[in-house]
Amino acid sequence: MDPTDIARRDSNAAMREYHALVKRIERGDPMHPQEVQDVIDQLVDEGYPFQADALARMKVNWDR
């Protein structure tokens, strides 16, 4: 990945939300399924299908 790709990724709102959500998942924070789905939808819309797929496969502590 060249510096231009990294800068583009870091400036994209969907990717920033993805990274923040992954950190929350890794900490085990409980979250609502709609929170995760909203970020997945954003990632797909912005052209990040691999990150959307990775997020969809993560083991999330669902808030009940």
**Token duo for residue 6:** 């990294």
User: In sequence order, what are the residues at sequence separation of 6 or more whose Cβ sits closer than 8 angstroms to the Cβ of residue 64?
Assistant: 30
pLDDT tens, residue by residue, 6-56: 556 567 899 999 999 999 999 999 999 999 999 999 999 999 999 999 999
User: In sequence order, what are the residues at sequence separation of 6 or more whose Cβ sits closer than 8 angstroms to the Cβ of residue 63?
Assistant: 30, 31, 32
Distance CA 21, CA 52 (A): 12
| Local confidence band at 5 (pLDDT 50, 70, 90 cut-offs) | low
What pLDDT, on the 0 to 100 scale, is given for residue 51?
96
Structural contact between residues 51 and 19, judged by C-beta atoms closer than 8 angstroms: no
Output the pTM of the full model.
0.81
Distance CA 43, CA 30 (A): 21
